[in-house]
Amino acid sequence: MAAPDSAESPSLALGPTQAPTGPAPDASGDRLPKDTPIGDYVIDRFLGAGAMGEVYAGHHPVIGKKVAIKVLRAELSASSEAAERFVREARAANQVDHPNVIDIFNFGRINHPGPHDGRHYLVMDLVGGTSLRARVAQGPLEVAAALDILGTIADALDAAHARGVVHRDLKPDNVMLSDATPPKVFVLDFGIAKLVAAGSEAMTGNGTLTGQGTWLGTPGYMAPEQWSSDGAGPASDRYALGVMAFELLSGKLPFVAANLPAMMEQHFRAPVPALATRRGPAHA
């Protein structure tokens, strides 16, 4: 399935959080009910919620295609500028053509009376499996398994970068492992961080994006150029992939800090810890 984005409180924003695996509290108090029409699709069930919105399983009522529907927060649809940028970025993200990338193949705005009217939605393939975040939570991966996953992600990034698309928020939460044996690796949410920023910037009129839900990335994985502005490029994704490599092999992030300034300072100036100091004897 399309993994829900992780809901991060300020105290958790410095590192990874476990993506919801079932119904989670919804701040709006009124999730979209079963059988709600969303464009050409119909909602089947709620999958999870996070900082960007809710994720639902759905289907096409005529051809029966199973899909994941991500409904973005209402404030991200609050302005015409945000709406225009949403369309541009969603189209760009959909240009990535790679077997390990979950495409956004439909998007639009909810158009029926009620509290959700006007909210943007994205439609993606529904893939059974678990997030890489859940796998990392079980402990470090064996080297061969980690290299297989990282190599697949790197290939997907190359395809995206060749199309001019930067992920901006690569982390284990945005990677799915299918139920197949061996599992197939899928990268989710290309460009979604930029979509969220588009809505937040349009609301505040401020190009410097800070605070919960408005980072163009997740601090534990962010390259130095992402901390002050949207300077993200292909190198930023490769930096995040390097952080993920450290995490997959050690079970821990290379940099951990009590606050955002300290985290930023580590990403700017601290040497990368030796992997052997983080990886237990059983995995050395």
d(CA 256, CA 57): 35
Q: Any catalytic annotation for residue 189?
A: no
Name the token pair of 22: 């079932």
- Residues in contact with 139: Cβ distance below 8 Å, sequence separation at least 6, in sequence order: 251, 283
Name the token pair of 108: 């639009």
Omega before 182 within 30 of 0, i.e. cis: yes
d(CA 222, CA 226): 6
Residue 32 CB: number of other CB atoms within 10 A?
23
The active-site residue, picked from 5, 169, 173, 237, is 169
d(CA 272, CA 69): 38
Cβ contact 275:243 at 8 Å: no
- Which residues carry out catalysis? 169
